[in-house]
Amino acid sequence: MRKLKDSPFYEKPLHILSYDFGDFYLYDNYIVGEIAEDVLISWEEQGEFLAEEFKSIYFEKYDELKYISNRIYKYSIIPSDWLKFAKCNYNFTGYGIVSYSKRGYFNALLEKVFVPVKLQTFTSLQEAIEWAKITEVDKATSIAKNEVA
C-alpha cells in the first residue's frame, strides 16, 4: 500500500494536481486519485471542482477516461453524491477502486450501488493501471480477433 509516485508503476503523468484533500495524477486515458487521510469527500466541497478541473484539461477526451481511486488512506465519501455527479453528465468510461483491506472492499461494494459507470475493484495498483490502459478500441480489436479465430 503506497503512493503511486513511490511505486514501480509510476510513469510521468501529463499533469499532477495537488490539493489539501488529495493528489491526482493525470495520464492519457486515466486518472489516479489519492485522497488525503480523514477527509470527507462531497460533491459540493471537492467533487464538482475536480470534475470541472478534469474536464478543462481533457476537453473532448473527457468521456474516454477511467478514474482509479488508490485508497492508501482512510477517508469518507458521501456515496449518494455520485447521483449528483451522474446528473451533471460527467462521464468516465470506468471507475476503479484499489482497496488494501476487507473493510475497504466492502465500502467499494456499497459505493457500487451509486456509481453511474462500470466499477471495478482491485487489490493492487498494478492491476488497476493495467485495466485503465485498456481502451475501448483495444477491447473492440480483441473481441474482433476472438470472433475471427
User: In CATH, what number is assigned to the domain containing residue 97?
Assistant: 3.30.750.24
The structure's pTM equals: 0.85
pLDDT of 140: 46
pLDDT of 46: 94
Using CA atoms in the order 81, 45, 121, 73, what is the torsion angle rounded to 10 degrees? -140
pLDDT by residue, tens only, the chain of 149 residues: 589 998 888 889 999 999 999 999 999 889 999 999 999 999 999 999 998 898 888 877 656 789 999 999 988 888 788 778 777 766 678 889 999 888 888 888 888 877 777 889 999 999 999 999 986 555 544 444 455 55
φ, ψ of residue 18 to 5 degrees: the values are -120, 125
Long-range contacts of the stretch 100-109 (C-beta < 8 A, 24+): 100/1, 100/71, 100/72, 104/71
Q: Domain tally for the chain?
A: 1
Q: 51: closest CA among 28, 11, 81, 73?
A: 81
- Which structural domain, as residue segments, surrounds residue 41? 4-148
